[in-house]
Structure 1
Amino acid sequence: MAKNNNDDTTAAATDSSTKNPKKANLLDPHSIKHILDESVTEIVTGRGYKEDVTMSNVRLLMGSVIIIVALVAQFYPKKFPENREFLIGCIALYVLLNVLLQVIIFTKEKNAILFTYPLAGSFNSTGLMVSSKLPRFSDMYTLSISSADPKSVSAKEDVHLTKSVTQWFTSDGILAEGLFWKDVEGLINKYAGESKKKK
């Protein structure tokens, strides 16, 4: 059954690529990475994984609070130096929240492009964390799949795929979705087949 779903998904990707090919500016690494990351998200969610936007919501919430603190400090009715203590408090809170936000991004998100919930119907209690890297001045794209909760008893070994982006793009910058889809599907299957981590 899973095999048929994979075939249907790959066929859909091939069909959509012929109708609406994805094109990147080969001189812009950000454009290339964006196209690949976007495609990875489509592939993973196409396998039945539902996106977990908790981390995105936390970042948005903290960002909103930081903006509110800045606005309150800016439009506080009293003038300096009467509002000195209030401004000091706002500045300290602003810095603290920014540092906390950076810590969350550095320790939790890292290079993540997608977090998911556990696959419906599976025995796993943790979803996926999908991350990617395309270093500056390099054509080597690295895609990694790991457990969203590494401490979970159902966490599996991380799997990685590193390949030159020239393997997936034509000279015109068109993404060969069939080839890329096949590689990503293979990585997902590899992760699914990995044994549990030794505790």
Structure 2
Amino acid sequence: MTTATTNGTTTTPPTKTPKKTNLLDHNSIKHLIDETVTEIVTSRGYKEDVRMSNVRLFIGAIIIVIALFAQFYNKKFPDNKNFLIGCIALYVLFNAILQLIIYTKEKNAFLFTYPPAGSAYNSTGLMVSSKLPRFSDMYTLTIASADPKSISAKPTVEFTKSVTKWFTEDGVLVEGLFWKDVEALISDYKDSKKSK
């Protein structure tokens, strides 16, 4: 097991049952790696910011309510034609808003955080995103500022590595190696300076 020391704090991968995945399932591999990255980032003092997820859930709930109203309205067709047209228009509008949020704000991000405790004015939260193209073993992890327009935003850092370096032949994640790589990237982000 690998122990990483950064700025006087030591973080160690939690000792628990090994994380295992199906190496033939691309989505399963990415999900397990992303989940582990979330654990690592939150163990470094970054608290997860779920506001964006809550907004998406709220808009999704509105879409479901609109669909239910359209389905169970107490008049039969064609008497409810105008009501159905209104429901369809609202359904399309809220779906478009949801897709716009995903496309412009979230992109490939799976984790947003608040700034670490005690750094209210000199830091921003993180936006952590990843890519694992289909039929490829090259995983790209990117750490960027959650607020890129902020004066305290730092440059984006990323690495691209083969997932074969982190998994055994049985599909077990070698957490010590993976933690070391992710923590090195977090340290690179913290140590980076904004270009003037």
Rounded to whole Å, the distance in 1 between the matches of 2:138 and 2:86 is 46
Count how many residue pairs are aligned between Structure 1 and Structure 2: 191
2:182 is matched with which residue? 184
Q: For the aligned residues, what is the CA RMSD?
A: 1.3
TM-score computed with the length of structure 2 as normaliser:
0.94
Q: Given the superposition, is the C-alpha separation of residues 4 and 20 from structure 1 closer, same or farther in structure 2, using an over 3 Å criterion?
A: farther
> How many Å apart are 1:82 and its aligned residue?
1.1
Query: Match for 2:146 among 148, 153, 163?
Result: 148
1:19-168 equivalences under 5 Å are 19-122=16-119, 123-168=121-166
1:143-175 alpha-carbon deviations (Å, 9 max, x no partner): 000011111111111000100000100111111
Q: Distance in 2 between matches of 1:64 and 1:136?
A: 31
Mark the runs of 5 or more structure 1 residues left unpaired by the alignment.
none
Between the aligned partners of 1:125 and 1:195, the Cα distance in structure 2 is: 12
Letter in structure 2 aligned against 1:189: S
Residue 78 of structure 1: CA displacement? 1.1
Q: Which has the higher helix share?
A: 1
Q: Tell me, in whole angstroms, the C-alpha distance in 1 between the residues paired with 2:8 and 2:189.
A: 19
Distance 2:63 2:171 in 1: 39
Q: CA deviation at 1:196?
A: 1.7
After superposition, the Cα gap between the structure-2 partners of 1:59 and 1:197, relative to the gap in structure 1 and judged at 3 Å, is farther
Q: Which runs of 5+ in 2 are unaligned?
A: none
Q: Supply the distance in 1 between the matched residues of 2:195 and 2:125 (Cα, whole angstroms).
A: 15
Deviation at 1:197, TM superposition (A): 4.3
Report if the CA contact (8 A) 1:155-1:197 is conserved.
Answer: no
Matched with 1:4 is 8
Q: Does 102-111 or 123-132 show the bigger shift? A: 123-132
